Structures are given as C-alpha cells and as structure tokens.
Structure 1
C-alpha cells in the first residue's frame, strides 16, 4: 500500500510541475493565404501524432522512431512560429522543475537519494 501511495504522489507532483511550467507556453495557429506557408505547422502536428501513436501502440516494432518523430514535431513547432514563451520568475521555474524531477524520481524508484 505504501509503495502505491508513493507512486501516486509522484504522479501528482509530475502533473503539477508540468501544469505550472506549461502555463507560460502558448501555442498559436494562424491562417495562411498560401498552402506552403503552413507546412511546418501541419508537419509538426502530424509528426507529434505519429510519434505518440508509435510510442503508445507500437513500441516494440518501431523502437526509437517514435522519439525521433516527437523531436521533429517539436522542432517544427518552433520553426512555424506558433509558440510564444511568456516570461516566468526564477522561483516559479525552480518549483515547477523541482516538482517534475521529484515526481519522476518517485515514479521510477519510489524514493529520493540525497
């Protein structure tokens, strides 16, 4: 019971950290007059979808190809100019990143080694 509770706390900490860190990232989309200007945005969506599907459903068959697709999708999002990064305080970044790190450590090992 105790190990399951620690994993639950780790999951909650991980999600809280991602939530607070993700509040300062805004994804936008715009209407392009010509189809070739929207190719990076469409490519990023398709690459992220294909990467997630290959990691979730076809992990054994695709190997690291899903991670490659996710990386390509993230790079194309930044190239399309559809990401706005708002300023954040150092304290907010520290707390959210620490929450992500501690939550991940709880999920993997169930304890923190200092």
Structure 2
C-alpha cells in the first residue's frame, strides 16, 4: 500500500512542476535543430531505460544520458519555462521526496 501511495505522491509532484513547462514544436529551418531534437529524445530514453533495467551496470551512464537529453532539449529551444511560485515548488519537492522514500523504504523519514 505504501508503494502505491509513494508512486501517487511522485505523480502529484510531477503534475505540480509540469504545469509550468510548455513544450513547443516548430518547423526546423536548420538541420542541426532536427538532429538536436532527435538526439534529446534518444538520450532521455536511453537514460531512463538504463536507470530502470540496468541500474547496477549502467546507473551512472543513465544519469549522464538524462543530463545530455535535458541540455539538448534546451539547445533545441523547444521548451518554455513559466515562473512558478515558491509554494508550488515546495509542495512538489516535499511530495517527490516523501513519495520516493515511501517507494524505496516503505516509510517516511524526516
């Protein structure tokens, strides 16, 4: 039961932070913008896959792939970040930390 509640808290935190992130698509006028968008999706998929399935063998590479994917998304200029309130950020951070602890250990430690 605690793992389901932990997963729900993580999804709530993603919802609160995701309200202020807008992904846009546009016509690619240059070849490097299309390559950057494709590489960012592939890097994010590789990072999430390696963290999910091969955590012991490729855990560090997973985080590197995710970082490269996020950097390429911003280089592609397909992301608009709206301002968020401190309260929304605090609630999202608290929900994520609590959900992660429930998911991994089954209880919340402060």
TM-score w.r.t. length of structure 1: 0.80
Asked if residue 68 in structure 1 is aligned to residue 92 in structure 2, the reply is: no
Asked if residue 95 in structure 1 is aligned to residue 91 in structure 2, the reply is: yes
Farther-moved stretch of structure 1 (57-66 vs 69-78): 57-66
1:9-48 alignment to 2 at 5 Å?
Answer: 9-48=5-44
Gaps of 5+ in 2: none
Q: What SS does the corresponding residue of 2:22 show, helix, strand or coil?
A: strand
TM-score w.r.t. length of structure 2: 0.83
Gaps of 5+ in 1: none
Deviation at 1:12?
A: 0.9
Q: Distance in 1 between matches of 2:27 and 2:76?
A: 12
Higher alpha-carbon Rg: 1
